[in-house]
Amino acid sequence: MESKINFMDAIDLLEWQLELGVTETIGNQEINRYLEVKPKSENKVKANIASSGKKVRAEPTLVASSMASAANSLDDLVQAISSFDYCDLKKGARNLVFSDGSPHAKVMIIGEVPDLEEDMIGKPFVGAAGQLLDKMFNAIGYGRSLSDTALYLTNVVPWRTPQNRSLTDDEMEVLKPFLVRHIQLVQPRFLIVMGNTPIQVLLNESRITKLRGKWKTFSGIPTLPMLHPSYLLRNPLAKKETWEDLKMLKVRLGEDL
Ligand code: URA
């Protein structure tokens, strides 16, 4: 028998979807996800885990670690992340936001989470925060173009969150192996970690306003925590501190301003 819902229930359902982060309808056909074939690389990882005698039930972080360490190039890593099905953020995102700039850059910047603009275009830092970031680094002669003074940019996670909510600890944990592998493949001379999310994931620290400007090390790479450009847009007076950090980076790069 055909079931009908009344107008008020339909409104409630729509509101519930908005709360979950649905921003547009993309199809009117139901998809039976149970019939979807798992990507090959993921099946291979599960087979390896099974044959190694470990638990057959795939543990998301373990799957992510195996897939990440099997990636021998940035292209491999993009493939691995694209076929990783254990993070629900992927389902709500339009695009995978992997990186921008030169993979040969001396300076690699790690941001937090892609926003709406980044999700639409598939590149990190293309919205208002990204424009400020470009201005900041251009002021010390660095930019996204392929040159000696190039930057390379990525984020802690490659998918936007529903309604720009903060990442959960689980999401950070599960996706961390891809970020760590990304850094290993790029091998920058310096890492810049912008905002609370990357300092939590990579340095196990929590307060960027306290940590900014204090050099740390991640996996042997000198790492400078800096205020996130979104924070600077909300707190323009803090730009002064960021300018000090940029000058310090310039000195570490062995360059004059
Ligand atoms: N904020 C980030 O941290 N990364 C982006 O790509 C955009 C905004």
Furthest C-alpha separation in the chain: 77
Q: Tell me which of 94, 95, 110, 155 to substitute to probe ligand 1's pocket, judged by most ligand atoms within 8 Å of the beta carbon.
A: 155
Atom of ligand 1 nearest to the CA of 228: 3
- List Cβ neighbours of 234 (8 Å cut-off, separation of 6 or more): none
Indicate whether residue 84 lines ligand 1 (CB < 6 A).
no
* Of the candidates 114, 66, 64, the residue with the CA atom closest to the CA atom of residue 92: 114
Q: Distance between CA 257 and CA 247 in Å, rounded? A: 8
The Cβ of residue 237 has, within 10 Å, a number of other Cβ atoms equal to: 7
Indicate whether residue 100 lines ligand 1 (CB < 6 A).
no
Indicate whether residue 119 lines ligand 1 (CB < 6 A).
no
If you ran DSSP here, which 8-state letter would residue 27 be given?
-
Give 26-66 pLDDT, tens digit per residue. Answer: 665 666 655 554 544 555 555 555 555 544 446 999 999 99
Token output for 163: 């309604």
Which residue's structure tokens are 């990357």? Answer: 198
Question: Using DSSP, how many helices (H) and how many strands (E) does the chain show?
Answer: 12, 6
Looking at residue 127, its amino acid is G
What is the chain's pLDDT, residue by residue, as a tens digit (257 residues)? Answer: 555 677 777 777 777 777 666 766 666 566 665 555 454 455 555 555 555 554 444 699 999 999 999 999 999 999 999 999 999 999 999 999 999 999 999 999 999 999 999 999 999 999 999 999 999 999 999 999 878 889 999 999 999 999 999 999 999 999 999 999 999 999 999 999 999 999 999 999 999 999 999 999 999 999 999 999 999 999 999 999 999 999 999 999 998 77
CA of 49 to the centre of ligand 1 (A): 34
Atom of ligand 1 nearest to the CA of 155: 4
Indicate whether residue 153 lines ligand 1 (CB < 6 A).
no
Task: Please list the residues that pair with 155 across neighbouring strands.
Answer: 111
Atom of ligand 1 nearest to the CA of 156: 3
Indicate whether residue 142 lines ligand 1 (CB < 6 A).
no
